[in-house]
Amino acid sequence: MTPHTPVTADEETVLADLAGMLARLLEDEYGLDDVEIGMHTTFNRDLELESIDLVTLAGLLEERYGDRVNFAEFLAGMEFDEIIELTVGRLVEYVVTSLKAAEAS
């Protein structure tokens, strides 16, 4: 599997999943209910999420995917600036890669 997997149905499903989780988080924590979320949406500037929101997101990811996806490890491997620039698309790619790796093993 190459890291640059083209957009597939899998990616669409994962994006829909993540958009649902983020919508839930934005509604619960900030009372927002009409935020558009796409592959290029950034967590920091577009969604205004704080790092503690990413901890909540990690919990939602674990609820959905179990230990097949480890968001904390994913972010722990990044530089601070990379986390600031992180897009929903990059997380979608990571989730798809992790799920495929779990399937293969």
Binding residues (CB under 8 A) for other proteins: these are 44-45, 48, 50-52, 54-56, 58-59, 67, 70, 72-73, 75-76, 80, 83-84
Q: Cβ of residue 97: shortest distance to other proteins, in angstroms?
A: 17
- Shorter beta-carbon distance to other proteins: residue 7 or 32: 32
Six-digit token string for 19: 């958009």
- Shorter beta-carbon distance to other proteins: residue 13 or 58: 58
2 forms bridges with which residues in the sheet? none
Cα distances (Å, whole numbers) of residue 1 to 5, 11, 65, 92, 101? 7, 14, 20, 15, 9
Q: Cβ of residue 37: shortest distance to other proteins, in angstroms?
A: 19
- Shorter beta-carbon distance to other proteins: residue 9 or 52: 52
